[in-house]
Amino acid sequence: MQMKRFIYISLLLFACFGPKDVLAVVKDSTLTRIQKIKQPVKQADAYARAAEQCWRTGKYEQGLVYANKGLVIARKAGYKKGEAELLNHIGIIYDYQGKISESLSSYYKALNIQETINDDLGIAYTCSNLGLIYANQKNYKSALYYHKRSLKLRKEANFKGGISASYNNLGIVYMYQKKYKLALKNYFESVKIDSELKDSSGLGDSFTNVGVCYMDLGMLDSAEYYFKLAVPIRQGFGDLLGLSNSYNNLGTLYEKKNDLPKAKEYLEKGIAIGKSIGGKDIIKYGYQQLYLLEERMGNYQQAFENHKLFVTYGDSITNEANTRAQTQAEMQYKFDKENARKEFNDKKEREQAQLILWSVVVIAVIILIFSVFLYKRWRIAKEQQLLIAQKNHLLELKNQEILDSISYAKRIQSAILPPKKLVNEWLVNSFIIYKPKDIVAGDFYWMEAMDNTIIFAAADCTGHGVPGALISVVCHNALNRSVREFGLIDPGAILDKTRDIIIQEFAKSEDDVNDGMDISLCTLNTKTLELKWSGANNPLWVVRSLSDEVVELKANKQPIGKYSKYEAFDTHHVQLNAGDSIYLFTDGFADQFGGPGAKKFKSKNMKDLIFEMKGISMDEQKELLETTFETWKGDLEQVDDVCILGIRV
């Protein structure tokens, strides 16, 4: 319905690749670092953390690589707790991919191990995952059983975060059953605990669930209030799955409020994010609501196309095979438990029989020993045959999955970029050119608004592609902290603090990390048009409306990151006039090879082009810059990420 699997982030508590990136995944720095760890237990735990980080950010195929490598090591080391944790990560990834049979199989294997070693919190963790799958498959009896079992174990351990998640999950099942009073009671229990723990991520999930409940009850204003409480929380945590769910919920809400254009806008946002992370459930729900909306708006052809997409994604998730897979997994779990009990009892009976027979006659003892020996030999042979058959089958499945993963790659949108809607609100007469070299980029643009002041920047992190993107997340977070946590608005002070945060973050690594970023950062008072600017290696260009030249403000010749000599970043003050334009950029445009002789475009030619465009609109400037870049590049490969911000005041 409204929530589906999208509260896994709340449950687990401890809660962007192109084709080339997928092929190179096992060669990344994370894999290299983990392989250097000598102790098998620590190495298995490191793989588990890496797998979790991957599925939390939608990198499911990479997460499976890490989890399966860790699983092999945990099993060789006899590390049962780690084996169960890795099986849970595998189950979560399969669930997100809509592979219900594989997901259930992994969860039940983990549960068997955890019950054997009496890992109560591990059992609670797995039971929550099972409860979510059964709720999504509308098997509410099983879902309630597993969620209540999880809640009981977490209460016994006084695990506050886990108790909150279990209340949240119980509320979801009751909401599916339309028992709204019980649902809201459990949701607000979760909100109470998350507030005590100051768990913003958990609050985001609880607020969303309360909103869904109120929407089902027809209390639309209350629903909108709680939905909008959840959105900034999920944006702040980079929770793409939760954010896509929030947008879909808002789309459904506005449809109910008869604001059809806004409903369509939010549903399309939710679908786009769902596609970027491969979330089939969220895509299915989005297309279901979108086709109903288009039909209501009289767009019957578009409604028909969206209905086909809804059916396509729905068939890949919920079908008879999934129902059979649930039954098969449950039967296998029960069979394994019963078989273990019988083996224990059989062994005990045999030992008693042997003691009796020893007291009778030696001949009877010899016959019994010989019989037991033959029986054990036969049983071992059978078990070995079964084990070989199972391993062969698993090997075939893994080979097929590897082939599928090579041919399956999804674009993932960057979660750190400001939404287009906010950019247009804050900087009305502006343009942004953003061209990653390898789908994901080391370049990024960043914005914040405080009263009448807009803070914005164009940044270039070390490298491009996946390594650059990983560095950009650290740098983006450091900028956010400098402004939001430390309350800085002076550009030079922001860059100083950002450098300190980045150096502190990289200092935690076992390796010597020298990465960082070049940046051009401005603050603009929208009332007085006073501009303050500071730069690390990257300059700022100002084009005056009544001048015949491009004014260049020079940056400090030092990066944001580790450097031989640290100096405070300078803050430049410029009084702008109406009609003046400013330009922030990285080096990708000027460094692009192309044209006659395959030479670099160069900064001087870029500056001349900016000046020549002085008399045209910002939209026309953007189009001309993009056309010039593509024409210059021709058939040559793009050498670096490109990011340009142009603003006319």
Q: Tens of pLDDT along 62-82?
A: 999 999 999 999 999 999 999
The predicted-structure confidence for 553-589, as pLDDT tens digits, reads as follows 999 999 998 888 899 999 999 999 999 999 999 999 9
> Using 50, 70 and 90 to split pLDDT, how confident is the model at 305?
confident
Amino acid at residue number 88: N
Alpha-carbon distance values, 108 to 9, 76, 128, 321 (Å): 20, 20, 12, 18
What is the arithmetic mean of pLDDT over 532-551?
A: 92
What is the arithmetic mean of pLDDT over 191-203?
A: 85
Neighbour-count burial for 92-119, b at 16+ CB within 10 Å, e otherwise: bbbbbbbbbebbbbbbbbbbbbbbeeeb
Residue 334 has pLDDT above 70, yes or no: no
Residue 408 has pLDDT above 70, yes or no: no
Verify that 283 and 381 share a domain, yes or no. no
d(Cα 111, Cα 326) in Å, to the nearest integer? 15
In a domain, 583, yes or no: yes
Task: Phi first, then psi: give them for residue 310, nearest 5 degrees.
Answer: -60, -45
Amino acid at residue number 199: D
The least confident of 167-176, 195-204, 519-528, 636-645 is 195-204
Q: Which of residues 118, 151, 170 is at a domain's end?
A: 118
In a domain, 172, yes or no: yes
Number of domains composing the chain: 5
Alpha-carbon distance values, 27 to 31, 346, 353 (Å): 6, 50, 58
The predicted-structure confidence for 123-173, as pLDDT tens digits, reads as follows 999 999 999 999 988 999 999 999 999 999 999 999 999 999 999 999 999
pLDDT score at 280: 76
Verify that 512 and 614 share a domain, yes or no. yes
In a domain, 85, yes or no: yes
What is the arithmetic mean of pLDDT over 283-293?
A: 84
What is the arithmetic mean of pLDDT over 538-562?
A: 92
- Higher per-residue confidence, 582 vs 280: 582
- Higher per-residue confidence, 421 vs 168: 168
Neighbour-count burial for 219-252, b at 16+ CB within 10 Å, e otherwise: eeeebbebbebbbebbbebbbbbbbbbbbbbbbb
Residue at token pair 């100096």: 567
Tokens of 645: 């911000």
In a domain, 65, yes or no: yes
Q: Are 423 and 430 in contact (CB under 8 A)?
A: yes
pLDDT score at 508: 74
pLDDT score at 329: 52
Verify that 438 and 587 share a domain, yes or no. yes
> Using 50, 70 and 90 to split pLDDT, how confident is the model at 270?
confident
d(Cα 51, Cα 404) in Å, to the nearest integer? 19
The predicted-structure confidence for 373-407, as pLDDT tens digits, reads as follows 888 888 887 788 877 777 777 777 665 553 333 23
Percent of the chain with pLDDT over 90: 51
In a domain, 160, yes or no: yes
Residue 326 has pLDDT above 80, yes or no: no
Name the residue range of residue 575's domain.
Answer: 420-648
In a domain, 7, yes or no: no
pLDDT score at 313: 74
Residue 13 has pLDDT above 90, yes or no: no
pLDDT score at 342: 52
Q: Which of residues 83, 99, 118 is at a domain's end?
A: 118
| H or E segment and range at residue 644 | strand 642-648
pLDDT score at 24: 37
In a domain, 370, yes or no: yes
Verify that 169 and 256 share a domain, yes or no. no
Instruction: Write out the DSSP string of 319-364.
Output: SHHHHHHHHHHHHHHHHHHHHHHHHHHHHHHHHHHHHHHHHH-HHH
Highest mean pLDDT among 1-5, 25-29, 202-206: 202-206
The CATH number assigned to the domain holding 568 equals: 3.60.40.10
Q: What is the dihedral of CA 499, 501, 504, 505, to 10 degrees?
A: -110
Residue at token pair 């009778």: 360
Verify that 253 and 306 share a domain, yes or no. yes
Percent of the chain with pLDDT over 70: 86
Task: Phi first, then psi: give them for residue 620, nearest 5 degrees.
Answer: -70, -35
pLDDT score at 116: 94
Verify that 293 and 425 share a domain, yes or no. no
Verify that 617 and 480 share a domain, yes or no. yes
Provide the H-helix boundaries in 413-558. Answer: 420-426, 465-480, 491-507
What is the arithmetic mean of pLDDT over 235-251?
A: 85
What is the arithmetic mean of pLDDT over 607-632?
A: 94
Q: With CA atoms as reference, report the closest residue to 418 among 631, 564, 232, 275.
A: 232
What is the arithmetic mean of pLDDT over 515-523?
A: 94
Residue 40 has pLDDT above 90, yes or no: yes
In a domain, 332, yes or no: no
Mean pLDDT over all residues of the chain? 84
> Using 50, 70 and 90 to split pLDDT, how confident is the model at 336?
low
Contacts 24+ apart (CB under 8 A), 320-329: 321/101, 322/100, 322/101, 322/137, 323/137, 325/100, 325/101, 325/104, 325/105, 326/100, 326/104, 326/133, 326/134, 326/137, 326/139, 328/101, 329/101, 329/104, 329/105, 329/107, 329/108
Tokens of 68: 């399966």
**Residue 433 in 3-state DSSP?**
strand
Verify that 405 and 437 share a domain, yes or no. no
* Residue 610 zone, left/alpha/beta (φ > 0; ψ -120 to 50; rest): alpha
pLDDT score at 7: 37
pLDDT score at 273: 86
Tokens of 436: 């990653």
Q: What is the dihedral of CA 404, 405, 406, 411, to 10 degrees?
A: 120
- Higher per-residue confidence, 109 vs 306: 109
Verify that 522 and 388 share a domain, yes or no. no
Residue 370 has pLDDT above 90, yes or no: no
What is the arithmetic mean of pLDDT over 43-61?
A: 91
Residue 198 has pLDDT above 80, yes or no: yes
pLDDT score at 321: 46
pTM of model > 0.85:
no
Verify that 162 and 230 share a domain, yes or no. yes
Residues with Cβ < 8 Å from 626, sequence gap 6 or more? 433
Instruction: Work out the angle between the directed axes of helices 220-236 and 240-256 (0-180°, nearest 10).
Output: 160
pLDDT score at 27: 43
pLDDT score at 235: 84
Residue 538 has pLDDT above 90, yes or no: yes
DSSP E strands in 480-632: the ranges are 516-525, 530-536, 540-543, 550-553, 560-561, 572-575, 581-585, 593-594, 599-600
pLDDT score at 286: 82
Contacts 24+ apart (CB under 8 A), 393-396: none
The CATH number assigned to the domain holding 105 equals: 1.25.40.10
Verify that 499 and 585 share a domain, yes or no. yes
Residue 20 has pLDDT above 90, yes or no: no
Task: Phi first, then psi: give them for residue 410, nearest 5 degrees.
Answer: -120, 140
Q: With CA atoms as reference, report the closest residue to 140 among 128, 149, 148, 131.
A: 131
d(Cα 73, Cα 79) in Å, to the nearest integer? 8
Q: Which of residues 188, 221, 238 is at a domain's end?
A: 238
Verify that 142 and 210 share a domain, yes or no. yes
